[in-house]
A and B are shown apart, each in its own frame.
Chain A
Amino acid sequence: MSRSGAGQRRNLLSIADLGPDVASGIEEVMALTDSFVEVSERQIPKVPALRGRTVVSLFFEDSTRTRLSFETAAKRLSADTMNFSVGTSSVKKGESLRDTVETIEAMGVDAIVVRHASSGVPRQVARWADAAVINAGDGWHAHPTQALLDCYTIRQHAGGVAGKRIAIVGDVKHSRVARSDVAAFTALGAEVTLVAPPTLLPPSLDGWPVKVSHDLDSVLATTDVCYLLRMQRERMTEALIPSLREYTALFGLTPRRAELLPEHALVMHPGPMNRGVEIAPEVADGPRAVIVDQVRNGVAVRMAVLFLLLGSGTEFGGDGNG
């Protein structure tokens, strides 16, 4: 079976894949997302755009929202979906990653959505596969669709990302979300400040166009978006903080700290939240939190990404209709 005339398959492994001009690539995804938000609000939230295409989720790591979000997105585009979870697969019998990918490819799939605990796995999968590969999170490296939905949510609530002062708070070191967010936010012209204890920052920040602070209280008053990262207890093998209680006391967004934020500020979190650790329950459910919108927009953003890679026949950052 020959491939359609859409040209070479493309991948979304990191924000840099959005084209030579990352900012216009992100803008293109966001403009397309507007159309898919409209689709999602309909009584029948489904369009036939990707009929006959097959999207496989290949998740080597636990996930609720990302896997469901991609699956919902594919179904709303009328694509067929297949799910691969490690627990019930031949990986348990010792099948190698390469054999697993080749087996899936042989069934004729158009896109593979990959999540893995090791950085670089999606790139490796893309080398083996003809299908479009979408990175749904790899190790500490990247989670591009999360960054896109974060940009979209900020644009939706604050009119745009350019010029916004964004504080990314918490476990930056282990966070692929932080890495993709920094790349996307700064490409769009936001001012990003990382706020964390030194032990939770990457060993080197060379080449990161960000400011760094170790004092959350002093940053909050001049913050338009307060982005809290999850404390990734499963990735912490060393004692990086004395205790979670001390972390909460110094870096948690408590109701008292939330009062320091300007009236218009947004509170964001990629989920799943550790309520009472990085974010207080009252703040998570408070008026500034747009965490539920992030999840809702995630479906529309992933529809846009799937449509761009499989349906539109255009290049990322290209000029649209030909």
Chain B
Amino acid sequence: MTREDMQRASWRMAHEIVERNHGLDGVVLIGLQTGGIPLAARLAEALEMIEGVEVPVGRLDVAFYRDDIGLRPVLPEAVTDIPGDLDGRTVVLVDDVLFTGRTIRAALDALADYGRARAVQLAVMVDRGHRELPIRPDFVGKNLPTRRDEVVDVTDEGVDLGEMVK
């Protein structure tokens, strides 16, 4: 996936978010630290161009909610910043890559501590499969079949598939 492909995909995902929610009333974008932050910003930009509405954008770190604390090193990558109360809002969680689904499970737990959202939807740039939990994305940039030991690298310049460095 090139930079341009990613731009087109995020533009399409923004349209899908508007379509699914019949507008942007009550919609909040929350990027997951740190990979989801650039995509959340791009989606917010696109949503403003499409609907002329400025959507609140937050950042969420899920380190304290992970189920592998004590099994591997876990540290937050950045401080969480949630814009206001989430009661009754429609939260669109945004991440770069969807893999096992464990990060999203942790994110759902974290969100519940900020209020009771009306609905939570999930937008990811790449869905690489290998889910370990019953979680599916609502908006996908690209479905990318991978092997478990491959590494998906999403940057501003595009998406790369590499081998795990051992």
Q: Which residues of A contact B (CB under 8 A)?
A: 4-6, 32, 34-35, 38-39, 42-44, 46-50, 77, 307, 310-314, 318, 320-322
| Given A4-B70, A42-B113, A313-B71, A321:B77 Cβ within 8 A | yes
CA distance A43 to B79 in the complex (A): 16
B79 near A311: Cβ-Cβ < 8 Å: no
| Given A38-B79, A38-B80, A38-B81, A47:B73 Cβ within 8 A | no
Nearest CB of B to A26, in Å: 15
Chain B residues within 8 Å of A46, by CB: 113
Query: B74's contact among A44, A48, A311, A318, by CB below 8 Å, is which?
Result: A311
Within 8 A of A (CB), among B59-91: 61, 63-65, 69-77, 79-81
Chain A residues within 8 Å of B75, by CB: 32, 312, 314, 320-321
Nearest CB of A to B11, in Å: 32
CA distance A12 to B72 in the complex (A): 21
CA distance A46 to B64 in the complex (A): 10
Nearest CB of B to A79, in Å: 12
Nearest CB of A to B77, in Å: 7
Nearest CB of B to A92, in Å: 36
A-B contact pairs, 12 of them (CB 8 A): A4-B71, A5-B72, A6-B70, A32-B76, A38-B80, A42-B114, A47-B65, A311-B69, A313-B69, A313-B70, A313-B74, A320-B75
Chain B residues within 8 Å of A34, by CB: 79
CA distance A16 to B69 in the complex (A): 26
Query: Which among B74, B75, B77, B80 has the highest number of chain A CB atoms within 10 Å?
Result: B75
CA distance A32 to B115 in the complex (A): 24
B109 interfacial contact with A, CB 8 Å: yes
Count of chain A to chain B residue pairs whose CB atoms are closer than 8 Å in the complex: 66
CA distance A201 to B146 in the complex (A): 66
Chain B residues within 8 Å of A48, by CB: 64-65, 109
Q: Top 8 nearest A-B pairs by Cβ distance?
A: A47-B64, A4-B70, A49-B64, A322-B73, A314-B73, A313-B73, A35-B76, A320-B75
Look across to chain A and name the residue whose beta carbon is closest to the beta carbon of B66.
A49
Q: Besides A311-B70, A322-B73, 14 other CB < 8 A contacts?
A: A4-B70, A4-B71, A6-B70, A34-B79, A38-B79, A44-B113, A47-B113, A49-B64, A49-B65, A307-B64, A313-B72, A313-B73, A314-B75, A322-B72
| Given A42-B113, A313-B72, A35:B63 Cβ within 8 A | yes
A312 near B73: Cβ-Cβ < 8 Å: yes
By secondary structure, the A interface counts as loop
Look across to chain B and name the residue whose beta carbon is closest to the beta carbon of A3.
B70
Chain A residues within 8 Å of B81, by CB: 38
Look across to chain A and name the residue whose beta carbon is closest to the beta carbon of B68.
A313
Look across to chain B and name the residue whose beta carbon is closest to the beta carbon of A110.
B70
A39 near B64: Cβ-Cβ < 8 Å: yes
CA distance A35 to B69 in the complex (A): 16
Chain B residues within 8 Å of A312, by CB: 69, 73-75
CA distance A42 to B60 in the complex (A): 13
Chain A residues within 8 Å of B79, by CB: 34-35, 38
CA distance A311 to B70 in the complex (A): 5
Chain A residues within 8 Å of B114, by CB: 42-43
Query: A35's contact among B72, B80, B109, B113, by CB below 8 Å, is which?
Result: B80
A5 near B64: Cβ-Cβ < 8 Å: no
Nearest CB of B to A53, in Å: 9
CA distance A32 to B114 in the complex (A): 20
A321 near B73: Cβ-Cβ < 8 Å: yes
CA distance A321 to B63 in the complex (A): 10
Nearest CB of B to A218, in Å: 41
CA distance A5 to B71 in the complex (A): 5
Chain A residues within 8 Å of B110, by CB: 47
Look across to chain A and name the residue whose beta carbon is closest to the beta carbon of B77.
A321
B113 near A320: Cβ-Cβ < 8 Å: no
Look across to chain B and name the residue whose beta carbon is closest to the beta carbon of A318.
B73
Chain B residues within 8 Å of A310, by CB: 70
Nearest CB of A to B83, in Å: 13
Within 8 A of A (CB), among B92-124: 109-110, 113-115
CA distance A277 to B24 in the complex (A): 61
CA distance A4 to B72 in the complex (A): 10
Look across to chain B and name the residue whose beta carbon is closest to the beta carbon of A34.
B79
B113-150 interface code vs A (CB 8 A; 1 in, 0 out): 11100000000000000000000000000000000000
